[in-house]
Amino acid sequence: MSQSKSIFNCPSTLDLRKRLINPTVALLPWLTHTELLTKKLFDKSGDTSLKILREHNVKASWWERYVLKLDSDMVFHREILTYAYDQPCWYARSILPHVTLQKHNELFVRLKRETLGDLIFGNNGIVRKNMSFYHISHENLEFHWLNRNLYLDTKVLWVRLSEFEIDSNGTFFLVEILLPGIEKYLLGVPL
C-alpha cells in the first residue's frame, strides 16, 4: 500500500526553502492562491483553454520517491498546459499513486470530461493538505519536464506544489510550473 509522508517537513523540501528567492509582489498572489488558478487567469485575461499533453502510467521516478516521499512503484501522470489567448501560462503535472487511483477510480475517470480543478473544487471529499512554492532553474529536474520552447531564455521559473487528500484514504499531488506567458497578467512585473 502506498503512503505518503508530509513533503513539507522532509529534508529535500527544507533544502528547497533554503534556496528560495523571493517572488515578486505581483507573482506572490498567484503562488499562494488557494482557489481555482484557472478561474483567476480567466478573470485577469478573459480567456483560458487547456491542452492535455499526456496521460500515462509510469514507474515512480527518483523525484517522486525523494521529494514526494512516495513508496508506490507505479504512478499515473496527467500533464497539461493552460493557456490564455494561445499563450501557455503554466504546465501542470498531476501525480497519482496507483493505490489512490485504484481506490478512487470512479472519481478520476471523470478527468476524461472534466478538469482536475473542477474535480478538486467541486468535491467536498478532496482537501488540500499542503501547498508550497519554490523556484527552479536548469539545475532542477522539474525544469526539464518542460519543452524548451515553453521557457526559451528564462533562467528561473516558479512552482506551486500541492498535496491533496481524498476522503482521508488517498493522496495525490499537483505540480504547477508558471511559465513566462503569465507575465502579462502579473501587473507587468516579470517573473
Tell me the β-bridge partners of 79. 54, 93
Residue 2 lies in a domain: no
Q: Which residues of the chain have pLDDT under 50?
A: 1-14, 17-18, 188-191
Domain count, the chain: 1
Residue 47 lies in a domain: yes
Looking at residue 190, its pLDDT comes to 44
Answer whether 41's CB lies under 8 Å from 89's CB: yes
Residue 5 lies in a domain: no
Domain that includes residue 18, residue range: 11-185
Residue 191 lies in a domain: no
Tens of pLDDT, residue by residue over 31-84, are 999 999 999 999 999 999 999 999 999 999 999 999 999 998 999 999 999 999
pTM, 2 dp: 0.85
Residue 45 belongs to a domain with what CATH number? 3.40.1410.10
Residue in 89, 79, 94, 93 with CA at minimum distance from that of residue 48: 89
Residue 4 lies in a domain: no
Residue 190 lies in a domain: no
- How far is the C-alpha of 135 from the C-alpha of 21, rounded, in Å? 7
Neighbours of 95 (CB within 10 A): 24
